[in-house]
Amino acid sequence: MNRFDEIINRRETNSVKWNTKEMFGDEEILPMWVADMDFPAPAEVIEAIKNRADHGIFGYTMPGEGTEKAIRSWLKNRHHWEIEENILTYSPGIVTAISMAIQTYTGPEDKIVVQPPVYYPFFEMAKKHKREVLYNELLLNEHHRYEINFDDLEAKLADPNTKMFILCNPHNPGGRVWSKEELTKIGELCLKHEVLIISDDIHSDLLLFGNEYTPIASISKEIAENTITCIAPSKTFNLAGLQASALIIPNASLRRKFNSTLQLHGLFGLNTLGTDAMEAAYKHGNDWLDELITYLEENVTEVENIINEKLPQLNVMRPESTYLIWIDARSLHKTDDEIKELLYKKGKLALEPGSKFGENGAGFLRMNIACPKETLQEGLKRLVHALT
């Protein structure tokens, strides 16, 4: 049996994903919505946590040389990206990091550009800080693949009050891995208009079907000096609850300012177990991740086959990265609320409604397929039942 085939009961573990009675009012609902996996972390990560637990002392902890070395080696070996020493800083999570960046580098009169449909905390966090959000909506081409409207992007970056651009690379929910050419154009436009880039690259390890990822900060020294790259082992190794992420900030001035904001909020280190888990994951997780990617590719193919056969009116956007599948259900001619009602009441299934990711996400669904094949097949059965 494949290691990822094992079904592990996550109920009664305070799991946000599986607490469906509180989240949806029905404990019979199968959750395939929030972005965490139903797979245990690599054995080496679990062992590292056990070793720290056995040590028995959980004092204040900060990532050390071993953590930095593990991250730098991972980026070099996995993504051919060599970063300098001492340019990392840390945050409990990437949403926290984005919030800190908004506070650090923008003011109340400033504007922030995002590219919907996109991970909703980008624009929600900006709004919570009373910043104006400019939406550079992604375009669907004839191949049902997202492209960037660069004319509109430049118009929004050229606004003198625009100070920040939040990039999602690879893209969530669409699964696009932006090309080097696209990223170069983004980077040059942001330099031209003096707009800081915050790049959320949390899905960059989960590359599917031979796709390759380019960190925007790797393109040139000039772009790197204008970019803060956010990474974490949370999506890659299913460690979100341990709250540990890293930021790559080559620009010393930007790094000092960011660290000052962290200190202002009393964020001086990371969770002890999260630090050890992050280091172990980046040191030992390569083979586990290769196996995971093969399994996810099989799951993607299964989703495509079932939907093409049983729900041909839907259109599946094949992800180039991530374990999230973006499904175009606009041909149903139903509102998101109507689709959600069918899924919850008839199908007993929870997916993310597309409108959550922006107005141009209406009519889409996001499905999390990072689960054992038996669970996936049950979810697809419920999806078919709900929508037929």
SS3 of the chain: helix, strand, coil, percent, to 5: 45, 15, 40
Pick the CATH number of 58-284 from 3.40.50.300, 3.40.640.10, 3.40.50.2000, 3.30.2000.10: 3.40.640.10
pLDDT in single tens digits along all 388 residues of the chain = 799 999 999 999 999 999 999 999 999 999 999 999 999 999 999 999 999 999 999 998 889 999 999 999 999 999 999 999 999 999 999 999 999 999 999 999 999 999 999 999 999 999 999 999 999 999 999 999 999 999 999 999 999 999 999 999 999 999 999 999 999 999 999 999 999 999 999 999 999 999 999 999 999 999 999 999 999 999 999 999 999 999 999 999 999 999 999 999 998 889 999 999 999 999 999 999 999 999 999 999 999 999 999 999 999 999 999 999 999 999 999 999 999 999 999 999 999 999 999 999 999 999 999 999 999 999 999 999 999 9
Residue 388 and residue 318: Cα distance in Å, rounded?
22
Domain 3-42+287-387 shares a fold with domain 58-284: no
Residue 199 and residue 304: Cα distance in Å, rounded?
30
| Alpha helices by DSSP H, 139-228 | 150-157, 180-192, 221-225
Model pLDDT, residue 274:
97
Model pLDDT, residue 269:
84
Model pLDDT, residue 268:
82
Model pLDDT, residue 115:
98
Model pLDDT, residue 248:
98
Q: Number of helices and strands (H, E) in the chain?
A: 14, 15
Q: State residue 162 phi and psi, 5-degree precision.
A: -80, 120
Q: Token pair of 118, please?
A: 């996109």
CB atoms within 10 A of CB 191: 17
DSSP run (H or E) holding 125: helix 121-128
Model pLDDT, residue 116:
98
Contact partners, residue 79, CB within 8 Å, separation at least 6: 204, 213, 215
- Would you give the DSSP letter of residue 321? B
Model pLDDT, residue 72:
98
Residue boundaries of the structural domains of the chain? 3-42+287-387, 58-284
CATH superfamily of 3-42+287-387: Aspartate Aminotransferase, domain 1 (3.90.1150.10)
Q: Token pair of 89, please?
A: 């800083």
